[in-house]
Chains A and B, each alone.
Chain A
Amino acid sequence: MERRDARLGARLATLEVTNMSTIQPLPETIPAPTVVLRPERGRKGIFGGRPMWLIWPSIFLLVVIIGIPLLIAIYISFLNLDQYTLRSWISAPWVGLANYVTALTSGSVVGASAVASLGVSLAFSLLTTLFITPIGILAALTVNTRYRGRTLVRSLYLVPYVIPTFVTALVWRQMFLNGTGLVDRFLAAIHVANINTYWLLGPNSFWAMVIADVWASWAFIYIMVLAGLQSISHEVYEAADVDGANSWQKLTRVVLPQLRHILGLALLLSTLYHFNNFTLPFVMFGTPPPIQADVLPLNIYVSSFQLFNFGLGGAMSVITLILMLIPGFLYLRALRLGEVTAS
């Protein structure tokens, strides 16, 4: 029996490698071909005669929509920009790195300090992603094979995802109200918690935010995984069946390895999205929020638009941007997208 399992394992491993190569643009084991550029002979030499000017509008728009605002945000982060200097913001007093120092060292009477907010945001985005991943994968698996009513189930799965975040947050706020909300009533009915347990204040507010966001966003992982599942060839499952693989073995040895890259992308996008989620905590808690739920985007909003400290808000935004670039950069490096594209 053990020998049969070992044989099966070896064959599935082979199968995995074979099929991974079908969905990857280029197997990682094959070195990327070296691109040899010919000696430059004008533009034609570099671009191979392709009409590269067609990308100019895109570059122009990127500069206008992303580049200039980004530069302005960085510039603002070095200014003492408040209600008194707002109108002539370009000539607001230059304060160097003072806003960055304040962001990283000082507390705030409104909500949490920037560093504490960073911790809340990281925990919130990572935990939410951690929770929604198995839910999304399981949901995708339940609608991957054909059966009567599958379309209806697929549509129902999308409901939480298509409801506007504003509405989701309002509904969950009502459900989490202490004493009268459904959550407390339910927990009290099953004798798990007191009916007056606070969910919108104190440490529970963090978990209330996570629960609401998990409910609203698991369908994202579901959609991504389902797309990945649909790209797996039927023959692979049949081959696994022939080899006598059970459902668990098919999931762990065939399906998940093939989903590795799309799942990686989904996890990255999900983490970034949750880190930047502003609407949910803003509507659920209002301002100022409890410190345990004072995510960085909310902190930046309060600092900039309510306390009129735009310089500090700018510094916190730049810090956020740098932090967000790290996982994105690592992911691109891991996928070696640059090399593949160049090849």
Chain B
Amino acid sequence: MKVNIRRTGPWLSLLMLLSLVLAACGGGSSSSQGQTLHVLIGYNSTYPTQQKQWMQQIASEFQKANGATIAWDTYSSSNEEQTKLQTSIVSGSGPDVFSFGTTFVPTAQATKGFTTLTDQDWKAVGGKDRFFQQQLTMSGSSPNQLIAVPWVMRPFAMAYNKDLFQKAGITAPPTTWTQFVQDAQKMTDPSAGVYGAEIDPSDTFDPWKIWWMFAEQMGGSFISQDLKTAQMNTPEAVQAVKFWFDWATTYKIVNPNAMAWKTGDALKAFANGKVGMQIMTTTTVTPTLQKSAVAGKYAFAPMPTVPYGMQQRPANGVPAATIVSGDMLAVADYSNVKDLAFKFINLVTEYQHQIQWTKTFGDLPANVQAANNLASTDPQTAAFIQAEQGATPTPFTGTWGPLEVALAGVSSKLANEVATNRYDPSHIKPLLDQANQQIQGQLH
């Protein structure tokens, strides 16, 4: 039989291409069906080797117990984390287990792309009692709508240089922001390049955390209780922003050339012994500091909780010293291996692995038993755990992620003004108004 190649050619080529495309698209699902669990976690740039070893150990134990393998994927920045989450949600394929920060859980839940945990699911991951109750406040929008399981805690605190404290005659860390400014002024010596505090207004995340803390302590809140109204332009919010920039423009307690700094630049300055107090930091900086000029000369303390110019907090003020912070694990709704996903979460939140994680990477365990054990042997860990138990949760709204970015935009613009000598505190309110309007439009 003679085949007319001109007629069959197009169909043949189309068929070949279609099969190629289908084969490519089907790759992910077939491996999932083959008992492979895909896990996405943050890359640990401080301990890359240890993280690799941890992954191998967990994968090995997981395979031994469940006969399934783990395919790891990592993200190196919050931008990458968000992009991977967005593409996975849209395409309905990607990692089975996602790790993300506590404040990103509301946004993740808003996408409706994650499994709402049932009682059976909680049982599979060790039960709710395994975890700190405070951490569970960021697990979901309501007690019966939880999507994320606490993995590790990372409370924020203040690191201070003991040598500079001693030199300035300061005996204890400040407990009010007035004392903080006074202590910082005592330590500041511009001729030696030493400043009592630091500021990093070009960072993406530090500005909102710091302003949120100031505003909460003064009785303000960025979002109303019913989560329907943006309140980022209240007098408390304006004062919070102004107070922070006053450190550079009025009190002169920070390096005047720090307007382009991000959190890494601030840490570098502290590690070089040029900063007296670094606020909004976590114990994860310990390895960096231990190898620096301030090794053995620094300590951590809770951040002050009394607003500047006040002897005590206003009646509606909240002693917010740290947000409920850390990493959580959530299972994608599209996952075909949810049972394996819960077994994985159960494994990494077990007592032994939580202890091991803390000893290796410095984060605190979200497992109550492990945390209490560590606290009983180390007073510093005990102080951090206590801080986390008193942590204040951020409003649980899907718009919180964009709110963080909007406030970073305000900070960047004000830093721009300070850097070019155009700063005027009266510019704060219009910028916050603009941010407020933008976020209000996204609140549901």
Contact = CB atoms under 8 A, between A and B. Distances in A.
A290 B412 CA distance: 7
B90 A308 contact: no
* Consensus secondary structure, chain B interface: helix
Interface string A150-164: 000000000000000
Interface string B10-39: 100110110001000000000000000000
B90 A290 contact: no
A303 to B, nearest CB: 10
Nearest to B265: A177
B410 interface: yes
- For the residues of A in contact with B, the DSSP-based class is loop
A87 B13 contact: no
Interface in B18-68: 21
A287 B398 contact: no
Given A60-B13, A110-B409, A179-B257, 10 more contacts: A53-B9, A60-B14, A60-B17, A82-B442, A83-B110, A109-B409, A178-B260, A201-B416, A288-B405, A309-B442
B409 A87 contact: no
A37 interface: no
Nearest to A285: B202
Question: Which among A60, A61, A89, A288 has the greatest number of chain B C-beta atoms within 10 A?
Answer: A288
B107 interface: yes
A291 B416 contact: yes
A56 B90 CA distance: 30
A247 B14 CA distance: 57
Interface string A22-43: 0000000000000000000001
Most buried by A among B82, B112, B399, B409: B409
A10 B165 CA distance: 83
B406 A110 contact: yes
- Which 3 pairs across A and B sit closest by C-beta, in order of nearness? A110-B409, A202-B420, A201-B419
Contacts of B111: 83-84, 86-87
A57 interface: yes
A305 B431 contact: no
Given A60-B14, A109-B406, A198-B260, A87 B90 contact: yes
B6 A51 contact: yes
A297 interface: no
B260 A177 contact: yes
Contacts of A53: 6, 9-10, 13
A80 to B, nearest CB: 10
A86 B89 contact: yes
Interface string A108-119: 111100000000
A83 B416 contact: no
Interface in B108-127: 110-113
A198 B420 contact: yes
A249 interface: no
Interface string B385-407: 00000000000001101100110
Given A108-B438, A179-B257, A86 B86 contact: yes
Given A57-B13, A201-B259, A291-B413, A89 B402 contact: no
A104 B113 CA distance: 32
Interface of B: 6, 9-10, 13-14, 16-17, 21, 79, 82-83, 86, 89-90, 107, 110-113, 202, 204, 256-257, 259-260, 262, 398-399, 401-402, 405-406, 408-410, 412-413, 415-416, 419-420, 431, 434-435, 438, 442, 444
Given A61-B17, A87-B112, A288 B257 contact: no
14 contacts: A60-B17, A83-B401, A86-B86, A86-B89, A87-B111, A109-B434, A178-B419, A196-B257, A287-B79, A288-B409, A290-B412, A305-B82, A306-B402, A308-B402
Given A107-B434, A291-B416, A83 B405 contact: no
B431 A109 contact: yes
B406 A307 contact: yes
Nearest to B203: A286
B188 to A, nearest CB: 16
Contacts of B79: 287, 305-306
Nearest to B433: A109
A190 interface: no
A204 to B, nearest CB: 9
A109 B438 contact: yes
A203 interface: yes
A137 interface: no
A302 interface: yes
A62 to B, nearest CB: 12
B398 A109 contact: no
B107 A287 contact: no
B244 to A, nearest CB: 16
Contacts of B89: 86-87
A335 interface: no
A196 B256 contact: yes
Nearest to B430: A109
B408 A287 contact: yes
- Most chain B Cβ neighbours within 10 Å, of A53, A56, A86, A109: A109
Nearest to A308: B402
Contact of A108 (B6, B257, B260, B409): B409
A83 B398 contact: yes
Contacts of B17: 57, 60-61
B10 A110 contact: no
A247 B107 CA distance: 65
Given A84-B110, A306-B405, A290 B442 contact: no
A56 B416 contact: no
Contacts of B402: 83, 306-309
Contacts of B409: 108-111, 288
Contacts of A111: 409, 412
Given A306-B402, A306-B405, A286 B86 contact: no
Contacts of A177: 260
A51 B9 contact: yes
A200 interface: yes
A54 interface: yes
Residue of B16, B79, B83 contacting most chain A CB atoms (<10 Å) = B79
Given A57-B13, A110-B406, A203 B260 contact: no
A64 interface: yes
A136 interface: no
B204 A286 contact: yes
B401 A110 contact: no
A105 to B, nearest CB: 14
Nearest to A200: B260
Contact of A203 (B14, B113, B420): B420
Contacts of A203: 420
A228 interface: no
Contacts of A56: 9-10, 13-14
A289 interface: yes
Nearest to A202: B420
Contacts of B83: 305
